[in-house]
């Protein structure tokens, strides 16, 4: 630890050393974490929730409501084992990937 930052040392070669600070998890003003997850069958999304279990339940509940409204649309289910808290950088990377895939 260095102050409030945890540092990681990465040896790129014998001559280069990169020092990276470990980024904090992305949280809302309500104290909720941003969870990234994959859909069973492909694709990904994110959801704000205080815990992994609540994140999963929230996604399932919202999509069941959506399925009642649009019964002919594809039925999506989140993959629980892929749900993970993320940093802001990880969130931005996922969004960039999504934007590139949609072009």
pLDDT in tens, 12-42: 555 555 555 678 999 999 999 999 999 999 9
Q: What is the pLDDT of residue 103?
A: 77
Q: What is the pLDDT of residue 2?
A: 45
Helix residue spans in 1-102 (DSSP H): 52-69, 88-101
- For 34, 49, 50, 61, 99, the CA distances from 28, given in Å and listed in that order, are 8, 9, 10, 21, 23
pTM above 0.95, yes or no: no
Helix then strand count (H, E) for the chain reads: 2, 5
pLDDT in tens, 50-75: 999 999 999 999 999 999 999 999 99
Confidence label for 102 from pLDDT (cuts 50, 70 and 90): confident
Q: Specify whether the CB–CB gap between 39 and 78 falls below 8 A.
A: yes
Q: Which residues contact 23 (CB under 8 A, 6 or more apart)?
A: 87, 88, 89
């Amino acid at each position: 630890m260095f102050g409030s930052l945890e540092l990681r040392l990465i040896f790129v070669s014998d001559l280069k050393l990169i020092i990276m600070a470990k980024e904090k998890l992305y949280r809302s003003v309500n104290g909720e974490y941003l969870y990234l997850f994959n859909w069973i069958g492909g694709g990904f999304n994110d959801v704000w929730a205080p815990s992994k279990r609540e994140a999963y339940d929230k996604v399932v509940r919202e999509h069941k409501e959506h399925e009642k409204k649009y019964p002919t649309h594809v039925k999506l289910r989140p993959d629980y084992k892929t749900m993970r808290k993320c940093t802001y950088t990880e969130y931005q990377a996922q969004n960039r990937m999504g934007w590139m895939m949609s072009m």
